[in-house]
Amino acid sequence: MSSSPREYVIAKWIDPAFTELYSAARFVLRFFIEVFQPPFEFKEIIRQCYEIGYKSLPLITLTGFVTGIVFTNQSRPSLAEFGAASWLPSLIAIAIIRALAPLVTALITAGKVGSNIGAELGSMKVTEQIDAMEVSAINPFKFLVVSRVVATTLTLPVLMTYSAFVGLMGAYLNVHLNELTSFTSFFQSAFSQITFLDIYASLFKAVVYGFTIGIVGCYKGFNATQGTQGVGRAANTAVVISMFLIFIEEILIVQVTTWIRTS
């Protein structure tokens, strides 16, 4: 019996979408239940922080530094046109601390770490390593998922702060070479327009992005199916969904901070 187009759309898209959403919500809920239950995997969390944080430093350094230089170069002519070149350090600091550092760090980490988590757990899933943990009376969710999500959530604010620092150093280098501004006057000018709200909001964003990258990567990897193809799909969708969610979260957090700033 042939189904109507409406039934087809429901069966093909709507049902699976809600099933996936339900399954993801259960996964997130399980994380919040298990993260507070002993035993705590401190050793594994520290190892993951090293893997996720320390090993991302070269890439974060490069992207942060280049962002600072490029943004300064691109902003200078526009400001100079209005005779506002002296505002350059403030503009750069606002842009880097409020938006660029959290977003660039999150996107780079989603690409590097999110795909890595998705592929690693996906591979463990399809080769039955996760089942092997379970039958050895080890909680694989606690060992694999909780440790990774906690590590990404803790690490991303640190990476973001480092990225902002490196970005400002890149901007300073550019400004110093072009306008011969001293280190002290550059940073005095840069931080004159920065408030604690900017810093707190950025740190909060980094925490949210870190959690998103970790939980999406783990969810996709933990639920990988269909062999090596499934591993590739888990890695790929982990990155795509993380980035999509990061942009949505960015919009929401910016709306809230703008409302706090203006009220």
Partner 1 sequence: MTKHKQSQGIDRSQTVILLKDLYKSFGELDVLCGVDLEVYKGENVVVLGRSGSGKSVLIKIISGLLMPDSGTVNVLGNDVSKLNSKDLQALRLKIGFSFQGSALYDSMTVRENLEFPLVRNLRNLSAAEIDKAIREVLEAVNLEQTMNQMPSELSGGQRKRIGIARTLILKPEIMLYDEPTAGLDPLTCTDINDLINEVQQRYHTSSIIITHDLTCAKSTGDRVAMLLEGKFLREGTFEEVFNTEDERVKSFFDYNFIQ
d(Cα 168, Cα 93) in Å, to the nearest integer? 7
**To the nearest whole angstrom, how small is the minimum distance from the Cβ of residue 136 to partner 1?**
4
- Taking a C-beta distance cutoff of 8 angstroms, is the pair 152, 211 a contact? yes
**To the nearest whole angstrom, how small is the minimum distance from the Cβ of residue 41 to partner 1?**
10
Residue closer to partner 1 by CB (options 37, 258) is 37
Give residues in contact with partner 1 (CB under 8 A).
39, 120, 123-124, 127-129, 131-132, 134-139, 143
Residue closer to partner 1 by CB (options 55, 176) is 55
**To the nearest whole angstrom, how small is the minimum distance from the Cβ of residue 123 to partner 1?**
8
d(Cα 56, Cα 100) in Å, to the nearest integer? 17
Residue closer to partner 1 by CB (options 68, 221) is 221
Residue closer to partner 1 by CB (options 132, 252) is 132
Residue closer to partner 1 by CB (options 34, 250) is 34
State the first-to-last Cα distance of the chain, in angstroms, to the nearest integer: 60
**To the nearest whole angstrom, how small is the minimum distance from the Cβ of residue 48 to partner 1?**
12
**To the nearest whole angstrom, how small is the minimum distance from the Cβ of residue 129 to partner 1?**
5
Residue closer to partner 1 by CB (options 188, 226) is 226
Environment class of 210 (CB within 10 Å of its CB; exposed 0-12, middle 13-18, buried 19+): buried
**To the nearest whole angstrom, how small is the minimum distance from the Cβ of residue 40 to partner 1?**
12
Residue closer to partner 1 by CB (options 60, 231) is 231
**To the nearest whole angstrom, how small is the minimum distance from the Cβ of residue 117 to partner 1?**
13
Residue among 119, 115, 199, 103 nearest 156 (CA)? 103
